[in-house]
Amino acid sequence: MTNFTQVSYFTFGAYFDIGFFKYLLFTIIICFYALIICANVLLIVVICKNRSLHEPMYLFLCSLFVNELYGSTGLFPFLLVQILSDIHTIYAPFCFLQIYCVYTYGTVQFINLAIMSYDRYLAICYPLQYNTRMTYNKVAKLIALTWLFPLIEVAVTIFLSSSLQKCGNILNAVYCDNYSVVKLACSDTRVINIYGLFITGLVVFCPLIVILYTYMRILKVCYSGSKQTRQKAVSTCTPQLASLINFFFGSFFEIIQSRFNMSSVPIMLRIILSLYFLTYPPIFNPLMFGLQTSKIRRLCKSIIFGKM
Which pLDDT belongs to residue 187? 82
Confidence of residue 229 (pLDDT cuts 50, 70, 90): low
Number of structural domains found in the chain: 1
Beta strands in the chain, from DSSP E residues, in sequence order:
9-12, 89-91, 170-171
Which pLDDT belongs to residue 273? 78
More confident position, 105 or 5: 105
Which pLDDT belongs to residue 5? 45
**pTM over cut 0.75:** yes
Confidence of residue 263 (pLDDT cuts 50, 70, 90): low
DSSP state of 185: B
Owning domain of residue 297: 4-305
Contact 102, 71 (CB under 8 A): yes
Q: Report in angstroms the alpha-carbon separations of 129 from 51, 123, 133, 212, 224.
A: 22, 8, 6, 22, 19
Distance CA(237)–CA(255), nearest Å, equals: 26
Which pLDDT belongs to residue 3? 43
The CATH number of the domain holding residue 44 is 1.20.1070.10
Q: How confident is the model over 236-256, as a mean pLDDT?
A: 79
Contact 204, 110 (CB under 8 A): yes
Average pLDDT for the chain: 84
Q: How confident is the model over 206-212, as a mean pLDDT?
A: 89
Which pLDDT belongs to residue 4? 43
Q: What is the DSSP string of 246-264?
A: HHHHHHHHHHHHHHS--TT
Q: What is the pLDDT of residues 6-22, one digit of tens each?
A: 578 888 887 777 778 88
Distance CA(89)–CA(82), nearest Å, equals: 8
Contact 201, 166 (CB under 8 A): no
**Of the listed ranges 33-47, 170-184, 266-280, the one predicted with least confidence:** 266-280
Confidence of residue 222 (pLDDT cuts 50, 70, 90): confident
Q: How confident is the model over 204-217, as a mean pLDDT?
A: 88
Of 294, 290, 269, 230, nearest to 65 by C-alpha is 290
Confidence of residue 170 (pLDDT cuts 50, 70, 90): confident
Of 298, 300, 285, 295, nearest to 239 by C-alpha is 285
Q: What is the number of residues in the chain?
A: 308
Which pLDDT belongs to residue 306? 62
Contact 84, 26 (CB under 8 A): yes
Q: What is the pLDDT of residues 18-29, one digit of tens each?
A: 778 888 889 999
Q: How confident is the model over 65-81, as a mean pLDDT?
A: 92
Residue 196 has pLDDT above 90, yes or no: no
Which pLDDT belongs to residue 305? 66
